[in-house]
Amino acid sequence: MSAYGARWLSEPYGPGGGGAAEGALRNLDATELDPLTLLVRESVQNSWDARTGDGPVDYRVELRTLGPSEAPVWRDMLSEGVPRADHLRLRSSLARSVLRILTVTDTGTRGLGGPTRADVAKPGESDFVSFVRKIGSSSDANGRGGTYGFGKAVFHLISAAHTVLVHTRCWVGDRLETRLIGWAVHESYTTDVSGTAKTYTGRHYWGKPTGGYVEPLVGDEADEVARRLGLRPFPEGGTGTTVAVVDPVLGERGDDEAMRWISEAMLWNLWPKMLPEGGDAPMRFSILHEGRTVPVPRPSETPHLRPFVWAFDDMSHVVEHKSMRRNLGRLGMRKFLAPVGPISTAAREVGLGDRLHHTCLMRPVDLVVKYLEGPPFYEEHGGYAAVFRADQDMDRVFAATEPATHDDWLVDKLQDVEEHRLAKHALRKIADAMKEASGPASVVNEAGEGVSLAGMSQLLAGLMVGTAGEGAAAVFPTNGGASGGGGRAGGAGGAGAATAGQPGRPRGRQRVVYLGDPVHDVLDGQAVIVQRFTLPDLGAHVVHGRPAVALGEGQGSEAEPPLGASTPTVLGWRSQSGVITEGRTLSTEGGDGAVWSLVVRPAPDTVTELVVVADQGQVSI
């Protein structure tokens, strides 16, 4: 017998019937989201719904291998009364030589309180029953991101054993109570019991059998067993919940890749909860893998996500149905010059591509529902990003359009004619805004400086004539009589372009090898152009950056600006470790393979030509 008499008990159908367990899993089949993404989305919604007070919610995902003192305890405790292998897959998981768990923990939440029996009602206190006992339960309460409905089955979906342990601390009256219960979901089945056929729902519970069903371990018993299992204790005086997934299934990924995927899934699906970045964010996210921290990217430092952050901060346009006198939500829209580089796989999963022309849909709880695609921006170097947040009075309406996985607004599900009309109108207004944004207009770069893409494209087209292909290096020959060099052009927030140049090379000048074209970035909140390069020759070098305004149409560049005009400015030199060395010149060693970047602040509404030159030793020119 395991500790405190805890064992498994399979749930039979009652005289009145009930739902089969497999129905919960099948409700998740319609989504194309990765199970790990679905886990993050569903669990965070439940964590946010359970928040307490004004403090942040701490949310942690941890993957770990059970140690030699822990694994035998899990095998011993969870083997008592375990169902047959054809009724539940837990036996094979417990037999593995290496046993792992994936835990999802929230604190700053109220835990799973209320009655532990589904046939006992206590108004306003039903978290335990809704999460553990019921299938497909819902809540009409405003301010909730989701419900303890079918989505909670994702915990079982990613377990090879379809088994989880639920460890929670909550308030019961005026005292804190810890609860611990096991819960497994498989297929319904019929078996012979004492010569009589008996049908079971496919739900199995681990805990203390009481009157034909299972109660959780509570109080000191729950604390002691959780300690022996190696589950992290909750903060002193704090409440929260941990769901431990037994024998997690990570797909074909390795563990490191899976945890990075979870990190990216957090970023693209939960980023509004990370704002403002820092200690004042409403939620704090962390990931651990075998005790090591896996970093979660910052939204403002992720190039393809940054435009949505701008739009989120600028939701100034009220979307309304004027004839019905209803506010439907708020819309923020930003146009921009396209970020450089490929977008992550997790971002592609939620519907984004290398070119951004989407609206992020969310309800008032500020959790991402989906990225709605609009018409592409008319110019390949540009894009737009928008955020639509439904009005609080429309929250219930849009919630009713969501499938079990909360990843779409299916407005045709609405039966109420007025609600259908309102939701349909909101999506139409969003589509109209994206159509308008996709056409020619002034856009802003990452510093908010205006520049006409149409005009810039014409200028870049002239500069591109006769240049080498993408990524070609401009090389300065080392023999005294030869000349060489290169000018590189990049807009004031526009796409970079290379332009051939042959400046004279004074004696002693060394080679500079450009690595690709100039790209746009942000440094301390201002738009900059960055040119990466290496110095292949051995020895000391003094490197100079020479930005100039490209005039286009074969007119060359202009180093001396008109009176009062802005000029491109060298801000410094960035090493491959990210450290910035300020100044117009850089003293460094060559031939070591180090990659440097010239960082230049462009003049607004111009195309900047960059030239990097290197001299031997301490030569100055």
- pLDDT tens-digit series, residues 263-293: 999 999 999 999 998 668 999 999 999 999 9
pLDDT in tens, 549-579: 765 434 444 445 444 556 889 999 999 888 8
113 confidence band (pLDDT: 50, 70, 90): very high
Beta bridge partners of 590: 539
Query: ∠ CA(103), CA(108), CA(111), 5° rounding?
Result: 65
The whole-number pLDDT of residue 344 equals 92
Beta bridge partners of 206: 8, 182
Radius of gyration of the chain (CA): 30
List CB contacts of 551: < 8 A, sequence separation 6 or more: 557, 558
Beta bridge partners of 136: none
Tally of CB atoms within 10 A around 374: 22
pLDDT at residue 480 greater than cutoff 80: no
pLDDT at residue 68 greater than cutoff 80: yes
Beta-strand pair 283-289/57-65:
parallel
Residues of the chain with CATH 3.30.565.10: 3-295
- What count of residues does the chain have? 621
31 confidence band (pLDDT: 50, 70, 90): low
The whole-number pLDDT of residue 618 equals 58
Whole-angstrom distance, CA of residue 601 vs CA of residue 588: 22
Beta carbons of 421 and 324 less than 8 angstroms apart: yes
Cis peptide before 248 (omega within 30 of 0): no
Beta carbons of 499 and 557 less than 8 angstroms apart: no
Of the listed ranges 365-379, 472-486, 598-612, the least confidently predicted one is: 472-486
Burial of 554 (0-12, 13-18, 19+ CB in 10 A): exposed
Of 187, 53, 180, 65, the residue nearest 116 (C-alpha): 180
Whole-angstrom distance, CA of residue 410 vs CA of residue 433: 20
Of 352, 614, 330, the residue nearest 474 (C-alpha): 614
Whole-angstrom distance, CA of residue 467 vs CA of residue 472: 9
Report residue 517 CA to chain centroid gap. 29
What tokens appear for 251 in the block? 């797909």
pLDDT at residue 141 greater than cutoff 60: no
Average the pLDDT over 103-120 and give the result.
94
In the three-class reduction of DSSP (H, G, I as helix; E, B as strand; rest coil), residue 398 is classed as: helix
Whole-angstrom distance, CA of residue 329 vs CA of residue 537: 60
Of 74, 99, 70, the residue nearest 230 (C-alpha): 70
506 confidence band (pLDDT: 50, 70, 90): very low
Helices (H) and strands (E) in the chain, counts: 13, 32
More confident residue, 488 or 176: 176
Q: Name the residue type at position 449.
A: E
pLDDT in tens, 456-473: 343 333 332 222 222 223
More confident residue, 327 or 12: 327
The whole-number pLDDT of residue 497 equals 32
Average the pLDDT over 24-38 and give the result.
72
pTM equals 0.72
Q: What is the CATH number of domain 3-295?
A: 3.30.565.10
Whole-angstrom distance, CA of residue 439 vs CA of residue 295: 38
**DSSP label of 401:** H
pLDDT in tens, 512-538: 998 887 877 777 767 788 899 999 989
The whole-number pLDDT of residue 404 equals 81
pLDDT at residue 392 greater than cutoff 90: yes
